[in-house]
Amino acid sequence: MCILLAYNIVSVFYAVKAMSTQSNDSVRPIRWQDTELLLLDQRYLPQRQEWLRLSTAPAVAQAIKDLVIRGAPAIGITAAWGLVLSLMQHRNVVEAEQRSRIAEDIKVLAAARPTAVNLVWALERVSRSLQAGRDIDAVIKEAVLISERIQLDDVAANYRMGELGAEFIKPGSVVLTHCNAGSLATGGYGTALGVIRKAWSDGLIDKVYACETRPWLQGTRLTAWELQQDGIPVTLITDSAAAWLMTQKQVDWVITGADRVASNGDVANKIGTRNLAGLCQLHTTQMMVVAPLSTIDPHTSSGAEIEIEQRQGEELTKIGDWDINAGHMHVWNPVFDLTPADWVDVLVTEKGALTAPGSSSIVRLFEA
């Protein structure tokens, strides 16, 4: 009880700090407004900022599938609010049918993105309010409070991880990041970009590079955009230029987020992360993975057990409305890859940073 109370006090401290701090932190992609969920539609960034209004759980699940919102923590927060919408939508249905409809919505939400463990974790937290015989209005009220707490805790955890990760960054450092693990992928501030934001504001980083991150160009469209929003200069590179960059510019750290971390420290993250981690092994560059405890799956013993999502081939063969090969090419399009734990120099969570992460050290995190 004392440990839980202490953690809650720390969580509230960093949440208040996050809300009151304006430096290098202006982007928030998820808003709850009375009976609607508002999502900043990331498919249209950076050309325009468009907010999508959602009022049903299936619509939320489709938005997650369509990459309106992406990034493991943000997906979890969004799914939590999706379940709240389900409760509201079925408020006036008789209890037996109500529970069946809500259960179906939970199933649809859980299937939206199978690799991101935060999704199921958040649904399980909100589902604890669902008890037979309880007044539905009381259930909705509790579910809203839980979802608010999930979102608030995520921002607080990101601020804490930013501080812990920045402690490893020496003055004058050059860092490279992949995909987008910033405010747009979380409740705010970011995991990998949270570390970069903190290290930049502390004057520790000289240069930030971002991989374009094919095929959805999250590095080009999202990471570069949100760093520019917060006044942090960033230099874009093609994914295939990373090895030469490490040779020429002496990159000190590759810093990424994660979509799932197995209990042995293996990391599932955006396709191309393994390439960068392997390159770190060949150069003097170190690999840092930044992820909240909710992204670590204690029930998955190694990366070999993690389902790797496959997406449609047209993501590779189409540029806008232009079909490069008119649909005549076979495509293999895995969204994620696996980085072995022994290629990760530091795993940063809100409960501590682990050097050379492994099963025993991760277990201690959950016991803390």
Q: What is the helix (H) or strand (E) element at residue 237, kind and residue range?
A: strand 235-237
Cβ(189)–Cβ(158) below 8 Å? yes
- Contacts of range 324-329, beta carbons closer than 8 Å, 24 or more positions apart: none
What is the CB-side half-sphere exposure of residue 121 using CA atoms within 13 A? Answer: 23
Place of tokens 């299937």: 111
Cβ(131)–Cβ(57) below 8 Å? no
Residue 282, burial from CB neighbour count under 10 angstroms (0-12, 13-18, 19+)? exposed
CA distance 147 to 154: 11
CA distance 282 to 91: 58
Between the two ends of the chain, the Cα-to-Cα distance in Å is: 12
CA distance 258 to 338: 10
Query: Pick from 350, 31, 25: which is nearest to 189 by CA?
Result: 25
Residues recognised as catalytic: 259
Tokens of 366: 């959950």
At residue 40, the 3 state secondary structure works out as strand
Give me the amino acid identity at 39.
L
Q: Give the residues across from 355 on adjacent strands.
A: 346
Packed helices 192-201 and 136-166: angle between N→C axes, nearest 10 degrees: 50
Q: Helix H segments across the chain?
A: 2-20, 57-65, 72-89, 95-110, 117-127, 136-166, 192-201, 218, 224-229, 242-249, 273-282, 314-317, 359-367
